[in-house]
Amino acid sequence: MSTDIPQAPVRYELADGVATITLARPDALNALDAATKEALRDAVQQAAADPQVRCVLLTGEGRAFCVGQDLKEHAQNLENGIPIDDTVTKHYNPIVQALLTMAKPVVAAVGGVAAGAGAGFAFAADLRVVGESAGFNLAFAGIGLGPDSGSSWTLPRLVGTAKAIELLMRPSTIDAATALDLGLVTKVVPDDQVLAEARALATELAQGPTMAYAAIRQAVYYSASHEIPDSLERESELQAQCGATEDHQGAVRAFLGKQQPEFHGR
Ligand code: T3D
């Protein structure tokens, strides 16, 4: 085998309805250089578009989940006059847009530190399974930047506006136990069980009512920024779509027949 071929910076595996997307630059703590951001953007968009995928599991290889923008590459870009908004528009925004809007659930397995955009990606998941020694660092202001990767949208929804501003203005690594208390994470588990626990959760979700999960994401996010009448109207539209699914109709029959429902995501 040639040693000249660099390892792909992102791996994509589909099994049991779960697309596992793994940031695979462990020696760089999964820092986001251009190749990694492009591969990640393509992977999340592929998962969003593939009807075989009924849940996405996002994780990072090695001792970090992701430390955000690769600052070594970033320094070179600054020297070469490449503007910041180039990567935000080309990479960070489409990645987070896909994570937050795909019509299926997203689980993050956070086995180590998640910083900057890495934290933003984790916050864009519906559920976060986190290792005991993992942590989150809203590192942006530490290098003189404001928030990106959707963290100005997700973080206040997770912890409230005042805490979000504090975490962004005074970045430090919040440990897993504190993150759990703040409501930033779903579950803290021993480090060596993060991936297995997250995979079990993702597999469970992949066997669930996919369109109902999509409706949950869409209704909750919509209602967070709309008045009650509009939110009720949106619930109504989404419920009509769910009500027309085989999954709903089969589950009602199963309930009345005192059987376990089987969901097929349609
Ligand atoms: O255009 C744009 O880029 C805008 C987009 C921005 C999106 C962003 O993500 S901005 C935020 C970028 N990320 C950061 O600022 C995080 C910087 N890192 C840290 O604050 C800390 O390293 C951590 C809190 C993540 C972890 O701390 P700790 O004590 O566990 O590890 P460490 O010793 O600080 O770092 C270990 C090594 O990783 C070290 O290298 P060395 O000394 O062993 O050779 C460190 O330089 C390197 N490293 C950590 N983060 C990055 C990094 N190298 C490149 N890029 C990084 N982001």
CB 190 within 8 A of CB 210: no
Q: Which residue, by CA, sits nearest to atom 21 of ligand 1?
A: 67
Question: What's the pTM?
Answer: 0.97
User: What 3-state class would DSSP assign to 57?
Assistant: strand
Ligand 1 proximity of 115 Cβ (cutoff 6 Å)? yes
Ligand 1 neighbourhood includes 84 CB (under 6 angstroms) = yes
Phi/psi of residue 93, each to 5°? Answer: -65, -50
Please report which residue ranges of 106-245 form alpha helices under DSSP H.
117-123, 151-159, 161-169, 176-182, 194-206, 210-223, 228-243
Measured from the Cα of 87, ligand 1's closest atom is: 1
125 C-alpha to ligand 1 centroid (Å): 22
Q: Over the stretch 57-78, which tens digit does the pLDDT of each residue have?
A: 999 999 999 999 999 999 999 9
pLDDT digits (tens, 9 = 90+) for 169-210: 999 999 999 999 999 999 999 999 999 999 999 999 999 999
Task: Choose which residue among 71, 85, 133, 137 to substitute to test ligand 1 binding: the one with the highest number of ligand atoms within 8 A of its C-beta.
Answer: 71
Cβ of 197 less than 6 Å from ligand 1: no
Q: How confident is the model at residue 3 (pLDDT cuts 50, 70, 90)?
A: very low
Q: Measured in Å, how far apart are the chain's first and last C-alpha atoms? A: 43
Residue 29: which region, alpha, beta or left (left: phi > 0; alpha: psi -120 to 50)?
left
Residue 39, SS3 per DSSP:
helix
Q: What's the gap in Å between 97 CA and the centre of ligand 1?
A: 24
State how far the Cα of 129 lies from the Cα of 235, in Å rounded to an integer: 28
**Main-chain phi, psi angles of 20, to 5 degrees:** -95, 120
Write the residue with the smallest CA distance to atom 30 of ligand 1. Answer: 113
Q: How many A from CA of 53 to the centre of ligand 1? A: 32
Binding site membership of 82 for ligand 1 (Cβ less than 6 Å): no
Average pLDDT over residues 21-30: 98
Ligand 1: centre distance to CA 239 (Å) = 44
pLDDT of residue 6: 63
Look at residue 79 and tell me whether its pLDDT is greater than 60.
yes
Token pair 């993060």 is found at 194
Gap between the Cα atoms of 10 and 18, Å rounded: 16
Residue at 170: amino acid letter: R
Give 228 Cα–ligand 1 centroid separation in angstroms.
Answer: 42
Q: Is the confidence at residue 250, as pLDDT, over 80?
A: yes
Query: How does the average pLDDT of the chain come out, rounded?
Result: 96
Q: What is the mean pLDDT of residues 231-259?
A: 98
**Per-residue pLDDT at 2:** 39
- The pLDDT value recorded for residue 207 is 98
The whole-number pLDDT of residue 1 equals: 38
Q: Which of 30, 40, 67 to mutate to test the pocket of ligand 1 (most atoms within 8 A of CB)?
A: 67
Complete DSSP assignment for 71-117: HHHHHHHHHTT--HHHHIIIIIHHHHHHHHHSSS-EEEEE-SEEETH
Atom of ligand 1 lying closest to residue 77 CA: 1
Cβ atoms 95, 153 nearer than 8 A: no
137 lines ligand 1 (CB under 6 A): yes
Asked whether the beta carbons of 249 and 241 are under 8 A apart, the reply is no
Q: What is the mean pLDDT of residues 136-153?
A: 98
* pLDDT computed for residue 82 by the predictor: 85
53: left (phi over 0), alpha (psi -120 to 50) or beta: beta
- Rounded distance between C-alpha atoms, residue 56 and residue 43, angstroms: 10
- Confidence class for position 4, pLDDT limits 50, 70, 90: low
Q: What is the dihedral of CA 127, 22, 137, 48, to 10 degrees?
A: -50
DSSP 210: H
Which ligand 1 atom lies nearest to the CA of residue 84? Answer: 1
Given a cut of 90, is residue 32 above it in pLDDT? yes
Q: Which of 29, 77, 143 to mutate to test the pocket of ligand 1 (most atoms within 8 A of CB)?
A: 29
